[in-house]
C-alpha cells in the first residue's frame, strides 16, 4: 500500500505539465550567464538526454541581430543575448532562457537576469517573430535545497521524473565545479610560475575585472585582451578565481553589495591585488551594477594603477587599443622605477 505522501507526489507529477517533453535539441545562447554557468546547464540537459547547441561566438552580425530586436536603453550584453537567441531560434526545438533569482535582496543578480524570459518574449513579439523559450526560475546562489528544487522543476517540464531531475542536477553541479576549479587552478599556476621569475624578466601581469560575458566575449572585451597580449602582458581574469573565497573576501569591500557576480569580481580583485601590476575594469555600456561597483573599486584600490573601460558597440577598436597601449606604457615605466627614473 503506497503512503499518502507517495500518492500525493505521484498525483502532482501526473498533473504537472511537461510542455517541453518533445524538445530534443536545446539552444544555449553564448551570452550573459552562460559564460559563468554554461558547463552546469549543458551537463544538466545532456544528463536528461538532450542535445545542446551553443550559438557561435559573438560578432558584429550577432550584435546587429540583437540590436534590431532591442530597445536602445538595453546594455550591450543583453543586446548580444537577444542576437544569440535569434541565431538559435530556427535551429533548435527550444532556446533556454533562465531567470536567476538569488536568495534575498543582498544576494541577487542584475535585474536583466531576472527578467530575461520576459525580455526575450516581448522583444520577439514586438518584432512579430516567434521563438520557443524554455524558461525556468533558477534559485542560483540561494540555499542548496531551493536550487535543487528549481532544477528538478525544470527537469519535470522536460518530462523527467524527480529522481532523474535530481541526478541531472548533481551531474550539472559536478561539471560546473570541475570547470571552475580547473580555471582557478590554471590561473593560480600562471601566477605562481610568474612569481618564480626574476622581477626584471617577469611579463607585466594585468588583471581584467569584468563580468564573464564581458571579459570572454570576443566582441565585447576581445579587443581589450588582444591589445594587452599584443603588448606582451600576461592577462589574468577576476572571474577565474575561487568564487567562494572571492565572495568571502568581498565583505572587506562592502557588507551590502547586492550583486553576486560583482561580489565575486571585487573579492578576486582584492585577493589578486598584490600579484598584478595593474587592473583593467571593463564594463558593457550602460551597466547599472558596474557603474556603481567600478567607481568604488577605482577609489578603493591603492598602489595599483586602474584603467576603466566602458565598451559600446564601437565600429572600430583603435580607441581601445590606444588606451590599453598607454596603460601598458605607464606600468612599464612604473616597473622601472617611475617616470623620473625610467
Ligand atoms: S550586470 Fe550590467 S552588463 Fe550585465 S546584464 Fe546587467 S546591466 Fe547588463
What phi-psi label fits residue 142: left (phi over 0), alpha (psi between -120 and 50 degrees) or beta?
beta
Q: Which residue minimizes the CA distance to atom 6 of ligand 1? A: 110
Looking at CATH, the fold of the domain delimited by 197-335 is given as Rossmann fold (3.40.50)
Ligand 1 centre from 285 Cα, in Å?
A: 8
Angstrom distance (rounded) from CA 319 to CA 86: 30
Question: Residue 166: phi, psi to the nearest 5?
Answer: -65, -40
CB 294 within 8 A of CB 308: yes
Q: Which residue minimizes the CA distance to atom 1 of ligand 1? A: 110
Parts of the chain belonging to CATH 3.40.50.11890: 4-177
Angstrom distance (rounded) from CA 319 to CA 307: 13
Angstrom distance (rounded) from CA 204 to CA 332: 8
Least confident of 71-80, 165-174, 333-342: 333-342
| Residue 97 in grid coordinates | 532562457
Tell me the pLDDT tens digit for each residue of 243-259.
999 999 999 999 999 99
Calculate mean pLDDT across residues 294-298: 84
3-state helix vs strand vs coil in the chain, percent to 5 = 55, 15, 30
- 3-class DSSP state for residue 51? strand
Parts of the chain belonging to CATH 3.40.50.11900: 197-335
Question: Residue 124: phi, psi to the nearest 5?
Answer: -70, -40
**294 CB less than 6 Å from ligand 1?**
no
Which of 288, 309, 312 to mutate to test ligand 1, by most ligand atoms within 8 A of the CB atom? 288
Angstrom distance (rounded) from CA 298 to CA 240: 20
**342 CB less than 6 Å from ligand 1?**
no
Least confident of 84-88, 201-205, 293-297: 293-297
Q: Which CATH number fits domain 4-177: 3.40.50.920, 3.10.20.600, 3.40.50.1000, 3.40.50.11890?
A: 3.40.50.11890
| Residue 48 in grid coordinates | 536528461
| Residue 57 in grid coordinates | 561566438
Tell me the pLDDT tens digit for each residue of 128-179.
999 999 999 999 988 999 999 999 999 999 999 999 999 999 999 999 999 9
- 3-class DSSP state for residue 301? coil
Residue 63 sits at the vertex; the CA angle it makes with 90 and 314, to the nearest 5 degrees, is 170
> What are all long-range contacts of 122-126, with beta carbons under 8 Å and residues at least 24 apart?
123/69, 123/70, 123/82, 124/69, 124/85, 124/89, 126/69
Ligand 1 centre from 110 Cα, in Å?
A: 6
**268 CB less than 6 Å from ligand 1?**
no
Tell me what pLDDT residue 1 has: 47
Predicted confidence (pLDDT) at residue 190 exceeds the cutoff of 80: yes
With the C-alpha atoms ordered 236, 240, 242, 247, is the resulting torsion angle positive or negative?
positive
Binning pLDDT at 50, 70 and 90, where does residue 57 land? Answer: very high
- 3-class DSSP state for residue 106? coil
**77 CB less than 6 Å from ligand 1?**
yes
Binning pLDDT at 50, 70 and 90, where does residue 303 land? Answer: confident
Q: Which residue minimizes the CA distance to atom 7 of ligand 1? A: 287
Q: H or E element: which one contains 105?
A: none
Least confident of 53-62, 72-81, 279-288, 333-342: 333-342
CB 271 within 8 A of CB 191: no
Ligand 1 centre from 63 Cα, in Å?
A: 15
Which of 290, 294, 311, 313 to mutate to test ligand 1, by most ligand atoms within 8 A of the CB atom? 290
Question: Residue 32: phi, psi to the nearest 5?
Answer: 45, -135
User: What is the number of the ligand 1 atom nearest to the C-alpha of 283?
Assistant: 3
Tell me what pLDDT residue 106 has: 80
Calculate mean pLDDT across residues 33-46: 98
**236 CB less than 6 Å from ligand 1?**
no
Tell me the pLDDT tens digit for each residue of 99-132.
998 788 788 999 999 899 999 999 999 999 999 9
Of residues 315 and 97, the one with the higher pLDDT is 97
Rg (CA), the chain: 22
Question: Residue 25: phi, psi to the nearest 5?
Answer: -115, 115
Binning pLDDT at 50, 70 and 90, where does residue 341 land? Answer: very low
Amino acid at each position: 500500500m503506497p503512503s499518502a505522501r507517495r500518492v500525493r507526489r505521484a498525483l502532482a507529477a501526473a498533473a504537472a505539465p511537461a510542455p517541453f517533453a518533445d524538445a530534443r535539441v536545446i539552444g544555449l545562447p553564448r551570452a550573459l550567464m552562460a559564460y559563468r554557468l554554461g558547463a552546469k546547464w549543458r551537463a544538466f540537459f545532456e544528463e536528461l538526454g538532450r542535445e545542446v547547441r551553443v550559438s557561435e561566438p559573438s560578432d558584429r552580425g550577432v550584435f546587429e541581430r540583437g540590436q534590431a530586436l532591442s530597445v536602445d536603453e538595453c546594455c550591450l550584453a543583453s543586446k548580444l543575448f537577444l542576437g544569440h537567441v535569434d541565431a538559435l531560434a530556427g535551429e533548435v526545438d527550444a532556446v533556454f532562457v533562465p531567470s536567476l533569482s538569488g536568495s534575498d535582496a543582498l544576494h541577487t543578480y542584475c535585474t536583466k537576469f531576472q527578467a530575461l524570459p520576459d525580455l526575450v518574449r516581448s522583444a520577439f513579439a514586438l518584432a512579430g517573430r516567434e521563438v520557443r523559450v524554455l524558461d525556468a526560475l533558477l534559485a542560483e546562489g540561494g540555499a542548496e535545497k531551493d536550487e535543487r528544487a528549481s532544477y528538478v522543476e525544470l527537469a519535470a517540464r522536460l518530462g523527467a521524473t524527480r529522481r532523474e531531475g535530481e541526478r541531472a542536477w548533481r551531474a550539472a553541479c559536478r561539471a560546473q565545479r570541475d570547470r571552475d576549479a580547473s580555471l582557478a587552478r590554471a590561473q593560480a599556476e600562471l601566477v605562481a610560475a610568474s612569481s618564480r621569475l626574476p622581477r626584471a624578466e617577469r611579463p607585466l601581469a594585468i588583471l581584467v575585472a569584468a563580468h564573464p560575458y564581458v571579459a570572454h566575449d570576443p566582441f565585447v572585451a576581445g579587443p581589450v585582451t588582444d591589445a594587452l597580449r599584443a603588448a606582451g602582458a600576461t592577462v589574468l581574469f577576476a572571474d577565474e578565481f575561487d568564487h567562494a573565497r572571492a565572495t568571502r573576501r568581498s565583505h572587506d569591500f562592502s557588507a551590502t553589495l547586492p550583486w553576486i557576480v560583482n561580489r565575486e569580481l571585487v573579492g578576486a580583485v582584492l585577493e589578486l591585488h598584490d600579484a598584478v601590476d595593474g587592473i583593467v575594469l571593463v564594463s558593457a555600456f550602460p551597466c547599472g551594477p558596474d557603474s556603481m561597483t567600478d567607481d568604488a573599486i577605482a577609489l578603493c584600490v591603492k598602489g595599483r594603477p586602474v584603467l576603466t573601460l566602458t565598451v559600446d558597440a564601437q565600429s572600430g577598436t583603435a580607441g581601445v587599443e590606444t588606451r590599453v597601449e598607454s596603460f601598458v606604457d605607464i606600468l612599464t615605466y612604473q616597473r622601472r622605477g617611475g617616470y623620473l627614473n625610467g
